[in-house]
Amino acid sequence: MSLPSPTPRFAPPPQVADRPRLELRNLRKRLGDTAAVNGIDLAVAPGESVVLLGPSGCGKTTTLRMVAGFLQPDGGEIHLDGVVASTSAFALPPEKRQLGMVFQSYAVWPHRTVAENVGYGLEVAGKKKAEIEAGVAEVLDLVQLSALAKRYPAELSGGQQQRVALARSLATKPSLLLLDEPLSNLDASLREEMRFELRALQKNIGLTTLYVTHDQDEALVLADRIVVMNKGRIEQLGTPEEVYRTPASRFVGSFVGIANLLEGEVDAVDRAAGKVRIALDAGDRLWSRAPARWLADAAPGSRATVLLRPEDFRLEQPQVPDQETGIDVSFLSESFLGSHYELKLQAGATPLRVQSRRRGSFVDGRTRLWARPGSAWVVA
Amino acid sequence: MSEITASHHLAEGTRATTPLLRRLSSLQPVRFLIIGGSIAILLALIAYPLALLAGYSFIDAHGNLTFDTFEKAFARRGMWQATLNSGWLVLFVTVGACALGVPLAWIVARTDAPGKALITLSAGISFVIPTFISVISWIFLAAPNSGYLNRLAVEYLGFSAAPLNIMSFGGLVFIEIVGVYPLVFFAVSAALNNIDASHEQAARVLGAGRLRTTLTVTLPLVRPAILSAVILVMLDALSSFGAPAAIGTMANFSVITTKIYDLLKFPPQFNYAAAVAMPILIVTAISLLIQKYAIRTENFRTLTGKATPDQITRLGRWRWLAGGFCLVVAFGTAILPVGALVLLSLLSSFGAPISLGNLVTKHYGLIFDEDFVARASIIHSMLLALATATVCATLGLVLGWVVERFRFFGREVISFLVMIAYGFPSIAYAVGILMGYVDLFYGTLTLILIAYAGKLLPIAFVLVRNGIQQLSTDLEEAARISGAGWLRSIKDVTFPLVRGAVGIAWVLVFSLSLRELSMSAILAQSDTQVMPTVVLQFIEDGAVELAAALAVIIVAVSLSMLGLIRLFTRKKTAVVS
Ligand SMILES: Nc1ncnc2c1ncn2[C@@H]1O[C@H](COP(=O)(O)OP(=O)(O)OP(=O)(O)O)[C@@H](O)[C@H]1O
Ligand SMILES: [Mg+2]
């Protein structure tokens, strides 16, 4: 296993050649008596798509609004293209930051047509009429709204308004695009479609984006890197795969995807391979990868928690088993979800959620489960 | 679209400005100036005169705290009687306005009585016509001997003596009731219309009869509306000046407001006037507090929609009785007085028999005569109304924005100050303005403008603030992030979206300025007479025909300005929908 171990704090951006488009240094903000943002470090490289992911109230919007310049930090610094934009003593006004922003409510101006909305940034910048028209046509084409340029927002569907908001933010060719839950007001199927469209757009035009969401699926699709936040702090920063497969904490493990957490005791340590063998309380033993820092202190006899995803279980013994006897589980309930069955099982007192292509066969309501080899991960 | 990738190179050029310039721009001087300026004006308009008022009544010549001024002021002859009269006036008017307004609201909102539209219209008319103008109509109709209704009664109905006398305390109560009952009527019928039918249906389903439902569900739900209206009516009656001044002079009685007016006649006694105004202030403050705490907490209603057919009570035989009641009210409070006013303005002289031959336009001729005081007063009033409406709409926009959008310590003080001015009796406020600005602006229209603007600002502020409240902050922020500065975001986004509210505020303030009497009476000098003060002068001089002609002009301009509101509301819905 060569997956890098997650670093909970600052991670260098993938492309180190260019200086970061956005850099947050120990950013802090109190709102009322909550520390809404409590020391955040982050660097966003040009062309990169970073997603802030976290539960409601964890400070995502607050962070984004500080970057935009609508809120002033209490501590720390914000740098845009290497230049200070906000400190606790100074804040460049939003209009001077050359950013784009898509709002959760769209904030499309009801008194202006689609074209007037989209062209506003160019108009403010003092561009000539012909230039504005060309710019508007170009972005409207990009979001496939050219036919609706003369309409008023009230005559558009929610999804179309969303596209207008996006086009408006792109028209000025911003150096960084901020998006605050831009898809949360759309219905489920449209949201899914827009997700992929946004990602394609971002890749095609090499847009740098900072995207806020509390929807993990959205984050996985859209991110080059995900910043998982909790209570104003960064819990983990890494690629979607890292965050999903090697979460830095129980919180991250349960917030991104469904987590089955099994307790056990270490009975062998293989530091060279970055693995430990764990005797599960629910029975059987398995080999699990573990974070390097945790591994350093691990010794036989210490306690450990293992994370397994619902899709990491097998209902029959695999060809090359990781385990010996399998985990003995009892049946609780089963739902059919089209592509697979979702089983709710119990191993001892620990509830488990398992995905299976086939219906399980249970004897007296019991069966055995095996983990897919190499899928287990120790969470600190 | 490959330029987007390269865009930060473009950005670099502008970002390379010196740190100092960047720091300066972060202060946003335009925003700072406009907001700071507006707050300064607010303080000058409202806080300063009010502070002076309190200061004069509590502090003696040597700067010590004292209650002496009160004792001396209330020891003056007739002062207690005037206070008592004010108390009775408030009581009778409040009871009367509720007795008239609540049943009418119920009939209009919840029954099938005929003539409902007529009541809404006539309540609107009563509301628009200030009481000092209805006094003119009622002098024409019910003056002790020469009133036309009295003559009708004596000559044709066999009365031995004139049955009606408008020049009495009872007459004053009647005129005040007619002037303020629309407040109760509109508030209660709006509340009745807004009660979700399901509340009442739930009670019916549980077995409550119609009467029981009305008493246990409907009435408690509209109680907050009734209470708020009662407070407004009380404050209105307490601070009313026009009708008490006109009738009091003739019937020889005083109320607190007319006493204050007398104290300011030459030589003006500011400290006594301020002290006498204090009871009004205290009652006002208490009422506003009650309004804020008692009524707000009771405002639990979930109001939506419009009365459904299910909520309409069929009156059966009583239908015609209710319809008759509506007709009598409409006739007595709107049709008769307006008709009388127009007729009187055209009649050759008060007391002349009503015949085609006696109808003339000479009063209007005199009003527009260049050498006569009335013409200048029309011009003054128009100028003042234009200026006041513009000042109030602009200030309302900036202050409404500040309160809704700007987070800084004490921004609530702004809305508090503005609301104080709202509850403040005009007459007392005018005293404060006089004390604060008489040296600077003696005998100028500016002095009157300051008073009008301060007193009418709350109306503009509340309307525009509500408009801004309904606008999501995102709309403005989207403009900022697109590169627009603060002023530009207001101009391009906020203003166009609240234009409807600003327009309505402008028109309302304009109409209210035209009919403002209590402050004008104190502040206007011989060179700065306005229409209402001239009307009052005409009444006191007995020139009721001229008063009527000028009053007709005020009413006509007010009504046509209010017609403009429809224009704004129509535009607004077109934009928002
Ligand atoms: N004006 C305010 N006054 C006091 N506390 C505030 C204010 N605005 C936000 N907060 C608090 O700050 C914290 C962070 O809020 P923020 O809006 O950044 O959350 P979020 O991560 O965007 O959540 P969501 O996913 O629900 O949008 C929350 O605990 C919130 O209650
Ligand atoms: Mg948020």
- The residue whose CB lies within 8 Å of the most ligand 1 atoms, and thus the one to mutate among A27, A34, A37, A38, is A34
- Which chain A residue has its CA at the smallest distance from B19's CA? A84
Output the ligand 1 site: residues, CB below 6 A. A 31-32, 34, 36, 54, 56-62, 214
Q: Helix H segments across B43-168?
A: 48-58, 68-75, 79-110, 116-128, 131-142, 148-156
**Residue matched to tokens 């009133």:** B147
The predicted pLDDT at position A25 comes to: 95
Is the CB of A81 less than 8 angstroms away from the CB of B11? yes
Tens of pLDDT along A252-275? 999 998 999 999 999 999 988 889
What is the ipTM, given to two decimal places? 0.80
Best CA proximity match to B283, nearest among B222, B233, B243, B246: B233
Is the CB of B485 less than 8 angstroms away from the CB of A95? yes
How sure is the predictor about A225, in pLDDT bands with cuts at 50, 70 and 90?
A: very high
Of B269, B288, B320, which residue is a domain's last?
B320
| pLDDT reading at A129 higher than 70 | yes
Of residues B278 and A14, more confidence is placed in B278
The number of the ligand nearest the C-alpha atom of A32 reads: 1
Sort out which chain B residues have CB atoms less than 8 A from A168's CB and list them.
478, 482
Of residues B90 and B164, more confidence is placed in B90
Sort out which chain A residues have CB atoms less than 8 A from B23's CB and list them.
90
Do B489 and B521 sit in the same domain of this protein? yes
Annotation: CATH topology of A258-379: OB fold (Dihydrolipoamide Acetyltransferase, E2P) (2.40.50)
Residue A93 sits at the chain B interface (C-beta within 8 Å):
yes
The predicted pLDDT at position B311 comes to: 66
The predicted pLDDT at position B24 comes to: 62
The number of the ligand nearest the C-alpha atom of A62 reads: 1
* Atom nearest to A54 CA in ligand 1: 21
The predicted pLDDT at position B22 comes to: 61
The predicted pLDDT at position B554 comes to: 92
Best CA proximity match to B167, nearest among B148, B151, B145, B191: B145
The number of the ligand nearest the C-alpha atom of A31 reads: 1
Average pLDDT over residues A222-242: 95
* Residue B138, domain member (yes or no): no
* Atom nearest to A32 CA in ligand 1: 4
Max intra-chain CA distance, chain A? 78
Which range in A234-248, A335-349, B75-89 is most confidently predicted, on average pLDDT? A234-248
Work out the minimum CA distance from B12 to partner chain A, whole angstroms: 8
Work out the minimum CA distance from B459 to partner chain A, whole angstroms: 25
Q: Residue B293 is part of which domain span? A: 65-112+161-320
Q: Give percent of chain B with pLDDT exceeding 70.
A: 88
Contacts of B375 (CB under 8 A, 6+ apart): B367, B368, B369
* Residue B14, domain member (yes or no): no
| pLDDT reading at A369 higher than 60 | yes
Sort out which chain A residues have CB atoms less than 8 A from B480's CB and list them.
69-70, 93-95
B400: CA distance to ligand 2 center in Å? 26
Do B539 and B518 sit in the same domain of this protein? yes
Average pLDDT over residues B44-70: 77
B51: CA distance to ligand 2 center in Å? 44
Do B271 and B375 sit in the same domain of this protein? no
Contacts of B244 (CB under 8 A, 6+ apart): B89, B172, B254, B255, B257, B258
Of B253, B287, B320, which residue is a domain's last?
B320
Tell me the count of A-B CB pairs closer than 8 A.
Answer: 119
Tens of pLDDT along B374-425? 889 999 999 999 999 999 999 999 888 888 887 766 677 787 788 778 777 7
Average pLDDT over residues A123-134: 93
**Testing the interface with B: which of A79, A111, A172 to mutate, by most B Cβ within 10 A?**
A111
Query: Which two three-digit tokens encode residue B3?
Result: 């330029």
Name which of B5, B478, B496 is nearest A206 (Cβ-Cβ).
B5
Of B263, B291, B320, which residue is a domain's last?
B320
Do B383 and B530 sit in the same domain of this protein? yes
Residue ranges of domains in chain A: 14-98+174-251, 258-379
CA distance B571 to B565: 10
Tens of pLDDT along B129-153? 888 899 989 988 888 878 888 888 8
The count of C-alpha atoms lying within 13 angstroms of the C-alpha of B239, restricted to the half-sphere facing its C-beta, is 26
What CATH number does residue B420 fall under?
1.10.3720.10
* Atom nearest to A229 CA in ligand 1: 21
Query: Options 3.30.1490.20, 3.40.50.300, 2.60.40.10, 3.40.47.10; which CATH number does A14-98+174-251 get?
Result: 3.40.50.300
The predicted pLDDT at position A234 comes to: 95
Sort out which chain B residues have CB atoms less than 8 A from A69's CB and list them.
480
A56: CA distance to ligand 2 center in Å? 7
Query: Which two three-digit tokens encode residue B494?
Result: 């906020």
Tens of pLDDT along A6-42? 433 333 444 445 689 999 999 999 998 899 999 999 9
How sure is the predictor about A5, in pLDDT bands with cuts at 50, 70 and 90?
A: very low
Burial bucket for residue B356 (CB in 10 Å: 0-12, 13-18, 19+):
exposed
Q: Give percent of chain A with pLDDT exceeding 70.
A: 95
* Atom nearest to A63 CA in ligand 1: 18
The predicted pLDDT at position A7 comes to: 37
Average pLDDT over residues A48-66: 94
A212: CA distance to ligand 2 center in Å? 8
Question: What count of residues does chain A have?
Answer: 380
Report whether B392 contacts B509 (CB < 8 A). yes
A207: CA distance to ligand 1 center in Å? 27
Is the CB of A142 less than 8 angstroms away from the CB of B496? no
- The residue whose CB lies within 8 Å of the most ligand 1 atoms, and thus the one to mutate among A31, A212, A215, A229, is A31
The predicted pLDDT at position B14 comes to: 43
Do B247 and B384 sit in the same domain of this protein? no
The predicted pLDDT at position B303 comes to: 44
**Residue matched to tokens 């005998």:** B443
* Residue B510, domain member (yes or no): yes
* Residue B336, domain member (yes or no): no
- Into how many domains does chain B fold? 2
Residue A79 sits at the chain B interface (C-beta within 8 Å):
no
Ligand 1, atom 17, residue with closest C-alpha: A61
* Residue B125, domain member (yes or no): no
A279 C-beta neighbours (distance < 10 Å), count: 16
Best CA proximity match to B51, nearest among B419, B413, B429, B423: B429
* Residue B333, domain member (yes or no): no
Please state, rounded to an integer, the average pLDDT across all residues of chain B. Answer: 82
| pLDDT reading at B299 higher than 50 | no
- Which chain B residue has its CA at the smallest distance from A92's CA? B26
Sort out which chain B residues have CB atoms less than 8 A from A119's CB and list them.
none
Do B81 and B179 sit in the same domain of this protein? yes
Do B405 and B307 sit in the same domain of this protein? no
A30: CA distance to ligand 1 center in Å? 10
How sure is the predictor about B448, in pLDDT bands with cuts at 50, 70 and 90?
A: very high
CA distance B461 to B303: 24
A232: CA distance to ligand 2 center in Å? 12
* Residue B147, domain member (yes or no): no
Is the CB of B485 less than 8 angstroms away from the CB of A92? no
The predicted pLDDT at position B20 comes to: 63
Average pLDDT over residues A144-150: 92
Query: Which two three-digit tokens encode residue B13?
Result: 């050029």
User: How far is CA B294 from its chain centroid?
Assistant: 23
Do B176 and B233 sit in the same domain of this protein? yes
Average pLDDT over residues A65-71: 92
* Residue B149, domain member (yes or no): no
Report whether A249 contacts A380 (CB < 8 A). yes
B252: left (phi over 0), alpha (psi -120 to 50) or beta: left
Report whether B222 contacts B186 (CB < 8 A). no
Distances, alpha carbon A344 to alpha carbons A13, A340, B459, in Å: 39, 13, 62
The predicted pLDDT at position B6 comes to: 38
Do B91 and B238 sit in the same domain of this protein? yes
Average pLDDT over residues B441-445: 87
Residue A29 sits at the chain B interface (C-beta within 8 Å):
no
How sure is the predictor about B93, in pLDDT bands with cuts at 50, 70 and 90?
A: very high
Report whether B538 contacts B517 (CB < 8 A). no
CA atoms B265, B271, B276, B279: torsion sign: positive
User: How far is CA A110 from its chain centroid?
Assistant: 32
Average pLDDT over residues A60-79: 93
Ligand 1, atom 22, residue with closest C-alpha: A61
Do B425 and B574 sit in the same domain of this protein? yes
